[in-house]
Amino acid sequence: MSAQREIAIVAFHQSPCQASAGAANEVELIMPELRAVFDQVGLANAQDVDFVCSGSCDYLQGAAFAFVAGVDALGAVPPIRESHVEMDAAWALYEAVLKIRMGHADSALIYGFAKSSPGELPIVLSQQLDPYYLAPLWVDTVSLAALQARLMLDAGLITEGDMAEVVKRSRRNAMTNPLAQLAGETSVADLLAKPHYLSPLRRHDCCPVSDGAAAMIIATVEQAKAWGMPYVRLSGIDHRIESHNLCLRDLTDSVSTRKAAAAAGMNAGAVDVAELYAPFSHQEIILSRALGLGEDTRVNPSGGVLAGNLMMASGLSRIGEVFQRIVAGEAGRGVAHATNGPCLQQNLVAVLEAA
Amino acid sequence: MTDVDVLSEAFELGFTYTRSTGPVMGRFLTALRDKRIEGIRASDGRVIVPPMEYDPETAAALDEFVEVGQEGEVMSWCWVSEPRRAHPLQQPFAWAMIKLDGADVAMIHCIAATDEAALHTGARVKVRWADEPRGHISDIACFELAGVAP
Amino acid sequence: MSEDNNAQAREPVTGMDAPIYLQYQFTAGRAPSRFLHALKQGRLTGQRCPGCSQVYIPPRGSCPACGIATDEEVTLSNKATVQSFTIVYIPIPGNPIKPPYIVANLVPDGANISFIHLLSDCVNEEVHIGQRVEAVWKPAQEWDYKMDNILYYRPLEEPDVPVELIGRLPVEGWEGQA
């Protein structure tokens, strides 16, 4: 087996998180993000990369084969090498990384998009559950997260004040993130004074529903140098999944995140910054603990997804956020996390390092 | 690009699926139709309800069915003050993880209760059966607090 | 419960109904919305790619060949050419049109790609590729944001377009016309 090829992240761009993208269809959401990353590298279109992989879910907007329509944004004449995952685009990145490491490509475009506003997202997502025992009951995903939060509160692992603290920090951090949907100065006392929404969750414990897209370009280190691009090394990436039976899992912990982090080599050095895909406030605490993050790590400086959640793109965006901070010199080494499924069922961890 | 008035229209996407249940889920649903609840014993001896077809740890096929009680304990719950149209109950209710007597793993279902204050973790609940069970998870219409008159 | 139901009830459960109905508020997209607004005014429009100059109908906001945004709106002709067609003999559930009828790929003059519409007012057996047709619109007071503002296309008394020129006619039409 040949030596593993090193992966470089060279470009990233994300749209603002909007409660509704209005008229824009999937192609119109994707195109500006693709154009931005092509322009960053100086490429014309998808013909100039070796592989394209996207992440999206047609159920979100209820348009069958919307992901195929998305190919209209690529410039796929003559035909290109293209693939798609019905998952967050962080998993599309994983597929692209494998493609490059195996020597089947030297460069790849990855994108994810979501138009969640046309449907009732928590109900749409109920249909990803066990089709015999849970989906027919229409158990929504916010309720499942609330069951998880209650388990933590009952066990004394967190307080509602801890959850509010996460929200307060997210809103404050988001004030410097122009793409955020929710931002502002608030206090734990103010947040705790708000009524419960889906007890024990308050509305602010839950991420908003957002429309938007994100895109990234990766390459071998040699290709990145040939392009003359500043780049960040993607030194490790791994993902793990837990049982679909929620009652068989320890929902107060994230074993899959810890295992993915170990396999991705997170523990080989200090972590300056971490971007965690925690759609609910208590889940940020679960993830921080599973990863063993301490005082030295800035967690979700972007505000995280509590400030705006692009389903199927937020995971890729976490990686993009860390990439941008390392390129800007704000951090030398960082960790990005992505999740799929109810109550953090499946988790991906990526480790990024300055070149 | 200049924007125009947004043209939008409500529509319903329908998938009229039927599902084959297989021997394990089929037996569970058959029992529900008879107002009985059956779990399955995993390789480590735990009783899982509703039954899984394969062992969660060894992946071995499972086939030792165990009838469990129709009462149980609330392990976790959340209060749905504004039920959604798709939800099984249209009055405020709770989703809960309920460990039935004789089971080792909880199941997720809903609890009908008068208000949030009536519920707590550890509360005892019992099955309320649907009027006409048909071999479906909703044959359990919901759970309700044990010892409380319906 | 009848005796039949009892007998059925004793059979083990082997299947279950699992219908899924999801409600959405669908939006047409910016480019399709502009197309539909023009359609409501009785005009067929496409969008031209700033790169390769191809004109797409209905427009989706991008040139799928070049991967760049389209913006320039082009009004197309009511005249079109048959690129392909099929004669439907079987009833389609939910479709009010009585078979046999013709569904055709039609390229309007000024566009470079076909769209699908009905062909009528014709002898089905005489329809052919390259045939010239024109749109038959509903009365103007019935126009809406809908493709069926055009009831159907009907044959024109014009010379056929050679296959290699289908999809390449300017909006002014076909110089080979009589």
What is the maximum alpha-carbon separation in chain B? 66
Residues of C in contact with A118 (CB under 8 A): 24-27
Chain C contact for B117 (CB, 8 A cutoff): no
Tokens of A342: 């109810």
Residues of A in contact with B86 (CB under 8 A): 120, 123, 126, 138, 140
CA distance A312 to A40: 23
Write the pLDDT tens digit of every residue in A116-128.
Answer: 999 999 999 999 9
Chain A contact for C30 (CB, 8 A cutoff): yes
What is the maximum alpha-carbon separation in chain A? 60
**Could you say which DSSP state residue A270 is in?**
-
Query: CA A198, A201, A207, A211: dihedral to nearest 10 degrees?
Result: 0
Q: Do C69 and A35 touch (CB under 8 A)?
A: yes
State the DSSP string of B22-65: HHHHHHHHHHHHTT-EEEEE-TTS-EESSPPSB-TTT--B---E
CATH of A7-120+209-227, one of 1.10.3210.10, 3.40.50.150, 3.40.47.10, 3.30.1300.10: 3.40.47.10
Chain B contact for A122 (CB, 8 A cutoff): yes
Q: Quick one: average pLDDT of C7-32? A: 88
Chain B contact for C7 (CB, 8 A cutoff): no
Q: Do A247 and B84 touch (CB under 8 A)?
A: no
Q: Quick one: average pLDDT of A308-337? A: 98
Write the pLDDT tens digit of every residue in C77-116.
Answer: 999 999 999 999 998 888 888 899 999 999 999 999 999 9
Residues of B in contact with A31 (CB under 8 A): none
Q: Where are the alpha helices (DSSP H) in chain A?
A: 26-41, 66-69, 89-101, 121-126, 141-154, 160-174, 188-192, 221-227, 255-263, 281-291, 314-327
Q: Which residue of C has its CA nearest to A72?
A: C64
Residues of A in contact with B50 (CB under 8 A): 132-133
Q: Where are the domains of chain A?
A: 7-120+209-227
- C139-144 long-range CB contacts below 8 Å, 24 or more apart? C140/C42, C143/C39, C143/C40, C143/C41, C143/C42, C144/C40
Distance from the A151 Cα atom to the nearest Cα atom in chain B, whole angstroms: 6
Q: Do C24 and B30 touch (CB under 8 A)?
A: no
Confidence at residue B6, expressed as pLDDT on a 0 to 100 scale? 81
* Tens-digit pLDDT string for chain B (150 aa): 445 678 999 999 999 999 999 999 999 999 999 999 999 999 999 999 999 999 999 999 999 999 999 999 999 999 999 999 999 999 999 999 999 999 999 999 999 999 999 999 999 999 999 999 999 999 999 999 997 655
For A58-70, b/e burial (b = at least 16 CB within 10 A) is: bbbbbbeebbebb
CB C62 within 8 A of CB A75: no
A38 pLDDT higher than 70: yes
Residues of B in contact with A247 (CB under 8 A): 75, 97, 105-108
Helix then strand then coil, % of chain C, to nearest 5 = 15, 35, 50
Tokens of B114: 């008068």
Residues 6 or more apart whose Cβ sits within 8 Å of residue C10? none
Distance from the A66 Cα atom to the nearest Cα atom in chain C, whole angstroms: 12
What is the maximum alpha-carbon separation in chain C? 77
Predicted-complex ipTM score? 0.96
Chain A contact for C52 (CB, 8 A cutoff): no
